[in-house]
Structure 1
Amino acid sequence: MHKKNYETFSSDMDFSGYEYFVIGSGIGGLTAATWLAKAGKKVAVFERHYVPGGFTHSFKRKHGFKWDVGVHYVGNMDKNESLLGMFNFITDDKLKWESMGNVYDVVHVGGKKYQFRAGKENFRKQFIAYFPKEEDVINKYISLIEKANKRGAAFFFEKVFEPWLSKSLGWIIRKRYAHYSQKTTWEVLSKLTDNKLLIAVLCGQCGNYGLSPKYSSFGAHAMVIAHFMEGGYYPKGGADKICHNIIEVLNALGSKVFINADVQEIITKNNKVTGIKIDNTVIKSSNVISNVGVDNTFNQLLSKSAKKRCNFNLREVKPASGHMCLYIGLNKSSAELNLPKHNVWYYANENTDELIEKTNLADAPNNFAYISFPSAKDSEWETENPGTSTIQAMSVGLYDWFSAYENQPWMNRDDAYKKMKANFEMTMLNKIYSLFPQLKGHVQVTEVSSPLSTRHFSNYKHGEIYGLAHTPNRFKLPFLRPKTKIKGLKLTGQDITLVGVSGAMLSGVLCATTILKLRSWRVFKKMNKANKTVTV
């Protein structure tokens, strides 16, 4: 049980001592806030929800069951990885991680299972064993992943460049990365092989970036594949340990997080930020960081004239797709039910694009399903919740399926909407039972979320969890960088970099670096010094 370490916003609070204001308490905003706080700045983070953390928070229901909303596993958390050092730094080494074991994902395609094993060479050997005639293809694929990510690292770092450097050296960096980012995953893989089954299995984790092979950028695919290649990890005690440990560090540094603080407007004058408006209360400020997505920032929080100055245009990139999720609580432990630590990716056949593109609500779980077992990944679950376990099962959920009910209140929508959720629950449960028949008779609690649920809590207008779709066009948008053309307004979050916890965290570092400039190296030195004393 987390001790409350945040405050409820009130219009009579005095914010005059704060130097920076962050809108949104997701991991991108919290990372930027912590870096600034460690550089001696006083930061206030505003969260519209009644709990902080964005997609790193968890929620509880009856019988004590708790589920994560966004963090199902994280990669690159080996003791030698920089991402672990970053987490250690922003949580003062309070956040602990557990390995999911040698196998972190199992992909089911057409009735066959394919394991993703931790470690590049284990990954290579396992896939060659599955597809012995494709050894050369698999070796080329891994090499392409590595080359793409070397270019990608420079591409993301370029986002902190000043305009003059971005137009010169930055142009070269972007052009070199375009060789990978401006091709779809299908374009790249189909040139390597005509084996549709191999392509389907290699793209088995495509739900991690929200697009099937014919639509996703190979750059995004390469980043996500490499992120998990050394194995999957899960935070001890659940995903909300991430945000609560970071908030404790912020509090110790004199900064704070405020909930129920729904920012209505970023106020500008003469192309400069002058404040923000919350509940019709104006808080003066010349430094604002938005972590609520570029669509919300430019289309909801800024005036038309301010938006125009930023050359903001999303015509070529749509929001990422939504999803359906079934949350399950069981009346036996993970050990008793033999639940795995690894995730399951189920596909009815090898036609990944068709399964996802042409699905409907009635058949979605029969075509595609992602199944995660958070209680099995967390060694503390059984101690805190003996004799119980949890599952999360997701599938495609298009916003258009539910848009007729978007203006109805949460938890009080029409019976027709409730029936749609009930039908999804039944279909998904049957799919789970077909894969794990031992679970029959042990389901105690269920709850279904739709894209409308995501919209209600995250304020993403189309119920998307991944922000902007990870298409090739996404990587061409010039305004996806921390610094905007409005003085005093910075951006952070997964839209600026890439999907997921690590992508959003990177955006927070880039945002802080943009603000601190050369002073950011002092923070880097603090981080490196702290990490040298850490034992994992």
Structure 2
Amino acid sequence: MGEQLRGTGAGPAEQRYDAVVVGSGVGGLVTAGYLAADGRRVLVLEQHDVAGGNAHVFRRRRRYEFDVGTHYLGDCGPDGLLPSVLSGLGVAGRVRFRPLDNVGGFDRIITPTALVDVPAGWDRYRDRLAAALPAEADAVHRFVDLATAVAGAGRASLLGTPMVELFRRSPQTMRWNRRTLGQALDHCGLSARGRTLLAAQAGNYGAMPDDVGLAEHVTMMDHYLRGAYYPEGGGQALVAAFVEALEAYGGELRTRCEARRILIEKGRATGVELTDGTRVLAPLVVSNADYRSTVLDLCGGEEAFPADLVARTRAATMRDAVVAVYVALDTELPDLPNANIWWHATDDMEGAHAEMLDHYARTGTLDRIPQLAFSFASVKDAGSPAVCPPGHSNFQLMTILPSGEGFWGTGGGPLAGGPYRRRPAYLARKREVTELVLDAAEQVLGPFRDRITHVETATPLTNERYIRASGGTPYGMATWGAGRQRPDVRTEVEGLYVVGQNTRHGSGMAGVAAGGMAAVSHILGRPLLSEVFAGTVLGDPARLPRREAGWDPLRVSRGRARQHAKGLARIG
């Protein structure tokens, strides 16, 4: 626990810690856990009821548990990224990863003229793409050769090889780090159909090929091609393991506790002020909050940062946002693979997306959903008592749609304090989108509407409300100044670091975990990620709590002080 300090006059009491982490997404929890394992007194602040950010779950009807953002994880074999991060904290044995069908295919891509099952391994992936695109086989080989070179350089950089050394080894490969996926597809001579099959999983980062860096795309693919997995018990089980490590090593998680501002004096961070006026003093502050909110709101913009950085941040654009429709059925769906499905209504993904946006711009309406991603929790975590009752199905349908307030018929989103949820225009748009998504899903799965026991739609405004993400996107910034650069974890303010989906380490579970490790490495002055890959363990498993019968990761993720507070949704 932090040191309690007496307040001055009638002001609220102050508290002192070695570090304060604002936000409890996976990036924040990784940072906090390792700082606590190093012996620091760490406080994590979370405005929501539970920790986890986009990795948290919610429950409905005492029968169904839905994952918000954990659909599958890559590189979770014995020497994988997330297992190594968990191992370094001493909690590796507390999270089990269930493999998807890494031989038959963990992703199924469906277009009107093709079906490609994506297996683990670049060579097998190349062979299946070439078989689906026989007239473009040479182009596929050129692209995969380029992709593996860029992905290999990225992996080496992640594990500590200096960029200058990577440029010395292969300057031509490293130049591709500044180019887009679209430029690489053009360079290799791929058709619109070929581009669609190679970029079909664009929903993993929320951008079309011309709007995402090649390095980000191939890093994402390399991550999954090392094997795709799902955490047993869902994303909250992973979050709970990080919370257990934090608390076991002397750290503290406070949920329902919101930061008002980050305190900065003479160019260095000195703590955080909460919305109730309490001041938490610390020489180290890590913001896992939205980057734009961190710079412009929590830190006061020009009060803390150079004017050019503030201007860049104000002008930043965000990645596409996601609409997710959560569905439960009172029956099992037949013949489903243990895989995600990426369905595209045409062989030209980019053209169909542009046509959708053009139709909306001209008419103010949608007439179709051009692409849809399916994630089947009841297949990936089969038999889990929390996912759904035996004989039922639990799955999620996701598509990329505009996030603007105009599209959603609101006068202001949650970050601006706008009361959007009951506005007729918002509800009408939400109903329209839900029906179009279900129509598209039934083209793939067959009719299922008459077996629905629960259906619920989350919009970009839903995500903004719970995660406080600018634009309601889970993918972070699209542009931040020139090109597609993103901020580093270090900031211009001494003692202030940023982690999460907006940093240069990227979005997704692996990206934010790597960003958290990078932040801790800077703070502790040691290459922690390469160390934990080599087997270093900072945490002490003997200090971890025993898990009793009925252990509930959602309860654990509320923090020790609020585990038994009212309002926890239950299963059964």
Q: TM-score range by the shorter chain?
A: 0.7 to 0.9
Query: Are positions 1:259 and 2:260 aligned together?
Result: no
Q: Which of residues 451, 454, 479 is equivalent to 1:442?
A: 451
Pick which of 56-65 and 520-529 moved more.
Answer: 520-529
* Cα distance in structure 1, aligned partners of 2:313 and 2:166: 22
Q: Residue 350 of structure 1 aligns to a residue in which SS?
A: coil
What is residue 368 of structure 1 aligned with on the other side? Answer: 371
Cα separation, partners in 2 of 1:244 and 1:135, compared to 1, 3 Å: same
Shift of 1:331: 0.8
Q: For 1:188 and 1:339, how far apart are their aligned partners in 2?
A: 33
Structure 2 residue aligned with 1:413: 422
Structure 1 gaps of 5+ residues are 1-10
Report percent identity of matched pairs: 22
Alpha-carbon separation, structure 2, partners of 1:467 and 1:174:
30
The reply on whether 1:433 has 2:442 as its aligned counterpart is: yes
Q: Which amino acid aligns with 1:291?
A: N
Deviations 1:31-73 (A, max 9, x none): 1111112222221111111111001100111142111111110
Q: Measure the CA separation in 1 of the matches of 2:317 and 2:160.
A: 24
Amino acid at match of 2:122: K
Aligned residue type for 1:117: P
Query: Which amino acid is 1:23 matched to?
Result: V
Task: Return the offset for 1:501.
Answer: 0.2
> What's the counterpart of residue 41 of structure 2?
42
The separation in 1 between residues aligned to 2:154 and 2:298, in whole angstroms, is 30
Matching residue of 1:286: 283
In structure 2, the partner of 1:271 is: 267
Partner of 1:482: 489
Answering whether residue 184 of structure 2 is matched by residue 188 of structure 1, we say: yes
What is the aligned partner in structure 2 of residue 356 from structure 1? 353
Secondary structure at the residue paired with 1:447? strand
TM-score (norm 1): 0.87
Call closer, same or farther: CA 1:95–1:158 in 2, change over 3 Å. Answer: closer
* Residue 429 (structure 1) shift: 1.1
1:98 aligns with 2:101: no
Match of 1:147 among 137, 146, 149: 149
Query: CA separation in 2, counterparts of 1:501 and 1:264?
Result: 27
Cα displacement (A) at 1:241 = 0.7
The farther-off stretch of 254-263 and 111-120 is: 111-120
> CA offset at residue 518 of structure 1?
3.4
Distance in structure 1 (CA, Å) of the matches to 2:178 and 2:168: 15
1:203 aligns with 2:202: no
Please state if 1:218 is matched with 2:214. Answer: yes
Matched, 1:452 2:458: no
- Go from structure 1 to structure 2 and tell me whether the alpha carbon gap of 1:155 and 1:305 turns closer, same or farther (over 3 Å shift): farther
| Change beyond 3 A, Cα 1:178–1:15 | farther
CA deviation after TM superposition for structure 1 residue 311, in Å: 3.1
Where 2:313 maps in the other structure, the secondary structure is coil
Structure 2 residue corresponding to 1:249, chosen from 226, 245, 248: 245
CA distance in structure 1 between the partners assigned to 2:184 and 2:59 by the alignment:
43
Q: Deviations over 1:487-516 (max 9, x none)?
A: 111111122211100000000000000000
Whole-Å separation in 2 of the counterparts to 1:93 and 1:364: 48
Q: Do the aligned residues in 2 keep the contact of 1:316 with 1:473 (CA within 8 Å)? A: no
Cα RMSD (Å): 3.1
Q: Which moved more, 1:496-505 or 1:186-195?
A: 186-195
Structure 1 residues 30 and 530: CA distance shift in structure 2, 3 A? closer
Q: Secondary structure at the residue paired with 2:262?
A: strand
Preserved contact between residue 104 and residue 342 of structure 1 (Cα < 8 Å):
yes
> Are 1:510 and 2:522 an aligned pair?
no
2:82 counterpart letter in structure 1: L
- Residue pairs, 1:81-92, within 5 angstroms: 81-90=80-89, 91-92=91-92
Provide, for residues 275-334 of structure 1, a one-character-per-residue CA deviation record: whole Å limited to 9, x for no partner.
Answer: 211112221222100111321110111122202278342367411121211111111245
Q: Which residue of 1 aligns with 2:303?
A: 305
Which secondary structure does the structure 2 equivalent of 1:369 belong to? strand
Equivalent residue, structure 2, for 1:179:
175
Q: Kindly provide the CA deviation profile for residues 319-351 of structure 1, in whole angstroms up to 9, marking residues without a partner as x.
A: 1121211111111245xx443321111112132
Q: Which residue does the alignment assign to 1:4?
A: none
> Are positions 1:110 and 2:116 aligned together?
no
The CA distance in 1 between the partners of 2:142 and 2:94, in whole Å, is 40
Counterpart for residue 499 of structure 1:
507
Tell me the CA shift for residue 382 of structure 1.
5.3
Secondary structure (helix, strand or coil) at the match of 1:476 reads: coil
Mark the CA change 1:136 to 1:230 in structure 2 (over 3 Å): closer, same or farther.
same
SS at match of 2:212: coil
Gaps of 5+ in 2: 1-6, 542-572
The 1:100–1:151 alpha-carbon spacing in structure 2 relative to 1, beyond 3 Å, is same
- Aligned twin of 1:394: 398
TM-score (norm 2): 0.82
Q: How many residues align?
A: 512
TM-superposed CA distance for 1:237, in Å, is: 0.9
